[in-house]
Each structure stands twice: as C-alpha cells, then as structure tokens.
Structure 1
C-alpha cells in the first residue's frame, strides 16, 4: 500500500495549518475574554469623583453603585451616570473608563439662582429649572428673592421662574449684584400672577437701594442696560426700560 501522493500530503498540511490557526484564534479570544471579564487584571480598583461641593464623594459613590472588583468592561457608564443624576443637587454626570482599572465620575452640580421664602420659615434655594438645591434658615447674601405665591417644591418647570432666571443671566454685573428681589407678571399659569401670554411677561427688579426697575422680557437686553446706566445717574427711584427708546422714569 502506498501513502498519499504529493497533492494529498499538501492538502493534509493545509488542513492541519487551518485547524491550528483556528484553535489559536479561539484561544486568543478566550484569553481576551477571560482577561476582560474573568480575571482580576481589568477590574475596577479605584473610582475618582470630581466636581463635588454641595454633595460628598461618598454620596456619589453610593448612588453610582459600582463595587470595586467589577470587570471594567461590564460597567455601563450611561447607566451609572443616570443613577448619579438622581441626586437632587447633581445637574449632570459624566462617567468614563480609565483603563486598565479606574473609573472617573465628573459631576456638574446645580447652581441656585434665586431664593424662595417659605411660609413656615427659611428659604429654598432653587436653580433655573425650579429644582431645590438646598434649604437655608436665613436669607442668603447675594442671592435675590423670587416673589411668588408658590413654595419652592412647586417651582419645577415654572415659566415665571424660567423667565426670571433668563433675565438675571443677561443683566450686567453692576445691576445683577444690586437686585434684592424680583417678580414676574403676565405669565399664563405661572407664579407671576396676572395671566396672559408669554410675550407679555414683565420682570420687575427691586434693588437694594429701594429702586424699582421694570425690565420686561429677555429681548434687547443690551439696549436696556445702556439706557438704564445713563438714566440712573439721576435721582429717580422708578425706571421702566421694558420698551427701549420709550423709557419711563419717576
């Protein structure tokens, strides 16, 4: 009996070579999978939290709920971010993997823009969206009081607060730091009071020196600021700059 010919031997060598490379590939894939998911090499060994001031890193870590030793590949960063954002004082969170064994959680906290006086005492400090950032017993220095009939807990999504916050954001610094209180009128369904369309909203500023400024809406902010700066060189205590070019003073 004779052995396989040259062509048959070549085919056998090719088959063995293909099988060898296939097995080697499977071994490599198994090794990578084990390294990523099963070994202790690529697991979460440390977590860094940045951006905290109102909340503590411990609060963020508790909300993130990523135990040390979790394979880094299994960490769903979007899901972790959502859990952290459930903390009331957190506006947004970004979670990133720092291979081979580190996780970074960067948060942006909510910033209060106004204070709301409570009927039972104290003040809710709320951000521009109406979320209560914190409570304080006494009136906070440097934060204007928002005049509203609603408690702080009912201001989330309130159009009057949104209007007031937008106006505060556009005021020149010399005016913004002088605002002691502000109110909004003409907001349909909002806390401003008198009803009407959003285009009729009027934001009124009450300054620390007892001066009243009817600012109006967020339109033509630059013109209003320039006209007001000139007019306030006089002795009036009331300024209506809601319609630049036709300012009313008294």
Structure 2
C-alpha cells in the first residue's frame, strides 16, 4: 500500500503529467483563442495541480460564459468545456444588435440582426433587460414563434407585437407565469388588442 501511494504521489507531481496544451469545447460566440487568453493556464504545471477555480473565474468573466467545466486527456491536455449563454431576445442600439439571455444579461453584439425576438427598450436599463427576459422566458414555444417584437417603455408597460400585427399588453413582468397561462385562450379569439396586465381579469378588443 505504501509503495502504491508513493507511486501515485510521484505521478501526480511528475512532469509526466505536465500540462502542455489546452483544448476548448462548446463555444460558438467566443473563439478558442479568447477562452485560452482569458484562462491563462500555466503550462508545465501538472494537470492535477492546476488552479482550476481561478481559471474558471477568469473564463467566467467573459460575458457570453454561463458555465465552465474541466476535463483532461492524459498525459498533457487540459480540456475546458464552456457553456455559453443563450439569446432569448436582442436589442438594437447604435447600429449593433445586443443579445440578451434569460437572466437579462447583455452578453454579445452583432452587426446584423439574428433570428428571434427583437426587444425595443433602453439597453442601459438593467431592470428592463431583466423584466423583458422574464416575460419572454414565460411564454410558451408557440407564442414565442408568433412574437416578433417586445416593447418596454417602462417597467409597467411591456407590450408584445405578434407577426400578424396583434398586440398584447403585458403590463409589468410580475405574475408573468399567470399571464402566459391565460394567453393561449385569448389568442384564439378575434381581437387586435389583448390585455393580460391583470391576469385574473384579461380583456380583448
């Protein structure tokens, strides 16, 4: 047992397991180079001795990163698997389109509009970003497909515009689950304007 322990300990600290390269998986928005540059993995250090918590913190500081996990391919490769944030809507601002995730985090910018919902709101208003994200993530898949735009003039005035021109007055992000639950029935009625701001008393006209 002592001999086995000595051999194991020797291997853990041995140059035989020194980190020589880094492999990045799971990225689409970020490039491999961006992740490696942020990670600052100390090459030459044994794979088992790498400061993985510190490396994870560095990578997580990149806006598109939602989660970081590590693996290894012996004898010399550290594998970094990144889970990126998922866009639930985008906001046009000054010639760019900002991607916003389900937590209301503005994590990526593009020059061209991507497929998906367009949010019309102040990109610098973090509260509105979160509230619109709450609304969008509460919607069922069919309603999301039907929706082209979400306008938020204030925290109490959020309006959805559907592809057929109908509008849904959502009010605030409060009780979004209840509002989303009553919406499908109202969508089956002939109405240009649907109001679910008070989900217990919805209205159409």
TM range (shorter): 0.7 to 0.9
> Where does the alignment leave 5 or more consecutive residues of structure 1 unmatched?
1-24, 186-191, 194-200
Task: Tell me the TM-score normalised to structure 1 length.
Answer: 0.68
Task: Tell me the TM-score normalised to structure 2 length.
Answer: 0.81
Instruction: Determine which structure has the larger strand proportion and give its number.
Output: 2
Query: Residue 80 of structure 1 corresponds to which residue in structure 2?
Result: 55
Cα distance in 1 for partners of 2:63, 2:99 equals 12
> Where does the alignment leave 5 or more consecutive residues of structure 2 unmatched?
none
Query: More relative contact order in 1 or in 2 (CA 8 Å, sep 6+)?
Result: 2
2:17 pairs with 1:62: no
Deviation at 1:220, TM superposition (A): 6.3
Cα distance in 1 for partners of 2:136, 2:145 equals 10
Query: Residue 173 of structure 1 corresponds to which residue in structure 2?
Result: 141
Cα distance in 2 for partners of 1:161, 1:134 equals 14
Cα distance in 2 for partners of 1:101, 1:71 equals 8
Query: Residue 219 of structure 1 corresponds to which residue in structure 2?
Result: 175
Pair 1:218–1:96, CA change in 2 (3 A): farther
Aligned length: 202
Query: Residue 127 of structure 2 corresponds to which residue in structure 1?
Result: 159
Pair 1:101–1:232, CA change in 2 (3 A): same
> Which protein shows a greater Rg?
1
Which residue, out of 101, 121, 135, partners 2:109?
Answer: 135
Cα distance in 2 for partners of 1:127, 1:58 equals 23
